[in-house]
Amino acid sequence: MSGKRTYPEQLDSLLEEAFDGLQRMTDKEVLDGQDPEEVMKRASQRLEWGASEAGRVRLTAAKSAIARAALEQRHRKLLAVSIADARAYIARSTADSRYTLAARQLDELSDEDVLRLYGQLTALEADYSSSDT
């Protein structure tokens, strides 16, 4: 293990340390002349904020991981397709009414352009398929 902790782990640790510190303090130290109800209310609000912030950070991290995984899966699909298959797919897509793909001389496109266009079309198809459900 590298020893470097993630932001959510650091935040969780900070919250635990703060809570432990509060528990170790005497009532007199905590209150320092303040109204006990107000102190409890502020502490509760801070703990709630910390928990919601940690949840937000975890949700953002999970969304990023899902997006990264989807991108990697698309990239693997692109690497697995042959240029000939990609060109054939593009040729079929020119007749698909869902897309406004102008008919092109596919033989004039470089292999890199064919794979880029193929990737864009398959991404659109995936988006189109997911919006049907």
pLDDT in tens, 5-31: 899 999 999 999 999 998 898 888 878
Query: How confident is the model at residue 14, as a pLDDT?
Result: 94
**What is the tens place of the pLDDT at every residue in 85-130?**
888 888 888 777 776 766 556 677 888 888 888 888 888 877 776 6
Question: Where in the sequence is the domain holding 76, given as residue range(s)?
Answer: 1-80
| Per-residue CA distances from 55 to 8, 18, 20, 133 (Å) | 8, 18, 20, 29
Q: Indicate the pTM of the whole model.
A: 0.41
88-109 burial, b for 16+ CB within 10 Å, e for fewer? ebbeebeeeeeeebeeeeeeeb
104 and 76 co-located in one domain: no
Provide the sign of the torsion angle of the four alpha carbons 42, 45, 47, 53, taken in this order: negative
63 and 13 co-located in one domain: yes
Supply the DSSP symbol for 4.
P
11 and 72 co-located in one domain: yes
Q: What's the number of domains the chain is made of?
A: 2
91 and 46 co-located in one domain: no
CA distance 50 to 22: 15
CA distance 100 to 26: 72
- Which tokens is 26 given? 């005497």
96 and 76 co-located in one domain: no
Choice between 132 and 52, residue whose per-residue pLDDT is larger? 52
